[in-house]
Amino acid sequence: MTAGPDRPLVVLVHGAWHRPSTWDAARSALAALGYETRVVALPSAGRDPAPTASMYDDAAVIRKELDQVDGPAVVVAHSYAGIPTSEGLTGATNVAHLIYLAAYLLDDGESMYSRHGMDVPADTTGLFPLMGSPGEALYHDVPRDVAARAVEDLVDQSLLSFTGTVTRAAWHDIPSTYVVCDDDRTIPPALQETMAAHATATRRWPGGHSPFLADPQRFAALVDDIIRSR
């Protein structure tokens, strides 16, 4: 697959407990702006994910997807996906830009647990529990009918995936933009700000954790503006 410099391929990577279908509305909005998109299905999330599916497995799948792309690509990583995206795309010469959307943007040697000052549990098998009231945490500003469907589509997430430590973060070598969601009720905006300090540039979204569902057209316009401003 070949992309052009004016309209690079946009690769979308979903967060924990989600599936590729979470991007459907955003893909349609990006297509209306002339962008071809691809989505990555992370093995750590699913109706019955392998309990041994790790962040490194997710990173390998992301890298495999990008290895099939000729020409420039822009990768949008949401929430948890920021970790395997940073891990998997180090040295990827066809990635022109990384967009971290309310995402974990970690440095070398960091994990989600260390970022939160938590100890990794002794037993890392099984599933990481979904937060209480996911509709409020993830979709509080999403249209009610869309949010209800999104909650129904949430899947299980392996616990092991949250414990992986970044070995070499791709953002050291690939330009990046961090989108801080100012009314996020999942990853506190103050925490997002500290991670955004690693990025080349920072943008702001005046809403919650899932802009691609809250307002797909406006989200697509933001991605387009970031791409054009590189």
Q: In this structure, what token pair is assigned to residue 24?
A: 């459907």
pLDDT interval class at 46 (50, 70, 90) = very high
Q: Where in the sequence is the domain holding 218, given as residue range(s)?
A: 9-228
Q: pTM for the full model?
A: 0.96
**Residue 41 domain flag:** yes
- The answer on pLDDT for 1 being more than 70 is no
What's the total number of domains in the chain?
1
Q: Which residues of the chain form beta strands (DSSP E)?
A: 9-13, 37-40, 45-46, 73-78, 95-101, 156-157, 176-181, 201-205
Q: Please provide residue 191's backbone torsions phi and psi, each rounded to the nearest 5 degrees.
A: -70, -40
Give the amino acid at 85. T
Per-residue confidence (pLDDT) for residue 2, from 0 to 100 = 42
**Residue 4 domain flag:** no
**Residue 3 domain flag:** no
Per-residue confidence (pLDDT) for residue 167, from 0 to 100 = 97
- Looking up tokens 């937060």 gives 131
- The answer on pLDDT for 154 being more than 90 is yes
**Residue 62 domain flag:** yes
Per-residue confidence (pLDDT) for residue 4, from 0 to 100 = 56
pLDDT in tens, 178-216: 999 999 999 999 999 999 999 999 999 999 999 999 999
Comparing 14-18, 69-73, 139-143, 198-202, the range with the smallest average pLDDT is 69-73
Distance from CA of residue 20 to its chain's centroid?
11
- The answer on pLDDT for 72 being more than 50 is yes
**Residue 163 domain flag:** yes
**Residue 180 domain flag:** yes
- The answer on pLDDT for 176 being more than 90 is yes
- What is the bridge-based pairing of β-strands 176-181 and 73-78? unpaired
**Residue 2 domain flag:** no
Average of per-residue pLDDT across 47-52: 83
129 three-state secondary structure: coil
- Looking up tokens 């697959």 gives 1
User: Helix 216-228 and helix 24-32: axis angle, to 10°?
Assistant: 50
**H-helix or E-strand spanning residue 178:** strand 176-181
172 vs 152: CA distance, rounded Å:
37
61 vs 50: CA distance, rounded Å:
14
222 vs 216: CA distance, rounded Å:
10
pLDDT interval class at 89 (50, 70, 90) = very high
Per-residue confidence (pLDDT) for residue 5, from 0 to 100 = 59
- The answer on pLDDT for 27 being more than 80 is yes
147 vs 213: CA distance, rounded Å:
8
pLDDT in tens, 97-125: 999 999 999 999 999 999 999 999 999 99
Give the amino acid at 211. P
Count how many residues are written for the chain.
230
**Residue 81 domain flag:** yes
CB-CB contact of 70 with 94 (8 Å) = yes
In 3D, which of 114, 117, 62 has the Cα closest to residue 88? 62
CATH number at residue 159: 3.40.50.1820
